[in-house]
Structure 1
């Protein structure tokens, strides 16, 4: 049963463009992990983590990446970092910059560079502008967070965010190491 599910997911993410294939794979892994985020926060802060369930509002955008990439690889690849930025902005509104959730903008910047070919620099620059603009505007545009925690709770939340960002960057690195080893760009 699990093997069949994995096979269907691989079939859904499969794309002849190796960059679009990587974007689809990353997007599906992120979408598959999103339901665990509220559970992690609930384990840390209890019922006060209820706003984390709102982060699932971004899941459909991650799930759409492979489908859009099949129709237009450039748009599909651009959607992934933009969906990541939107999810991060939502999380900053929910938990504030004290949670260090804006660390998730780092993999968005990485994806904004690595998902595009040299001839696609215009799209790359446009996509890269999104996380930088959001980072510099987060504090004054979003206002206070929906939920505030104690400093010890924030320390635990920061640890979850830091490890999650590191794992996501490692995943991106592994996928692109495979792409580069085949030199099939």
Structure 2
């Protein structure tokens, strides 16, 4: 039986809001790269590949709120891994793992602690893999370009973390 948005628990509603914000911001990332870096715009278009996955989360929530709450940090983790392979560790894309961990910390009910623990281990394991085995980036940037990308990603991650915290403020996790 499907549920409408008003019948969803507040944690799932927060997940949906965050998924929408991420998905709606995805198209702007190549614009930021173009404006701030001036190079690698075509490569940055690869970041749009995950947009449909984030878009699926609100629709998934209607069928299974838990699956949607698992999907958001999972998709974010895989997206972060891909973008780290695309841009390289020095670009700061690995900072998005922090947002994934924060989502894991806030997106589960008390009785879902084993899902939460499993997701925390998974995100951390992917981070460790990324740090140690990701290899050469698919796109090579100059040192000044990497510094600009790092600043862009650090600001974006801090903004996302602040939004996640604000959206989850006062959300009851029973």
TM-score, normalised by the number of residues in structure 2: 0.91
Distance 2:89 2:173 in 1: 39
Contact preservation (8 Å) 2:101, 2:120: yes
Q: How far is the alpha carbon of 1:40 from its aligned partner?
A: 0.7
SS at match of 1:46: coil
Q: Which residue pairs with 2:9 in the alignment?
A: 17
Distance 2:115 2:15 in 1: 15
Contact preservation (8 Å) 1:65, 1:79: yes
Q: Which residue pairs with 1:28 in the alignment?
A: 20
The range that moved more, 146-155 or 88-97, is 146-155
Q: How far is the alpha carbon of 1:131 from its aligned partner?
A: 1.6
Q: How far is the alpha carbon of 1:23 from its aligned partner?
A: 0.3
| Equivalent residue in structure 1 for 2:161, among 151, 159, 169 | 169
- Uncovered stretches (5+) of structure 2, i.e. residues with no partner: none
| Equivalent residue in structure 2 for 1:108, among 91, 100, 115 | 100
Question: Does residue 90 in structure 1 map to residue 82 in structure 2?
Answer: yes
Distance 1:167 1:67 in 2: 25
Provide the aligned C-alpha RMSD in A.
1.7
1:37-78 residue CA offsets vs partner (Å, 9 max, x unmatched): 111111233242311111111111111111111111111101
Distance 1:13 1:45 in 2: 40
Distance 2:157 2:69 in 1: 19
Q: Which residue pairs with 1:51 in the alignment?
A: 43
Contact preservation (8 Å) 1:13, 1:25: no
Equivalent pairs, count: 171
Higher helix share: 1
The range that moved more, 150-159 or 92-101, is 150-159
Contact preservation (8 Å) 2:8, 2:65: no
Runs of 4+ in 1 over 3 A off after TM superposition: 12-15
Q: How far is the alpha carbon of 1:15 from its aligned partner?
A: 5.2
Distance 1:184 1:93, change over 3 A: closer
Distance 2:28 2:122 in 1: 26
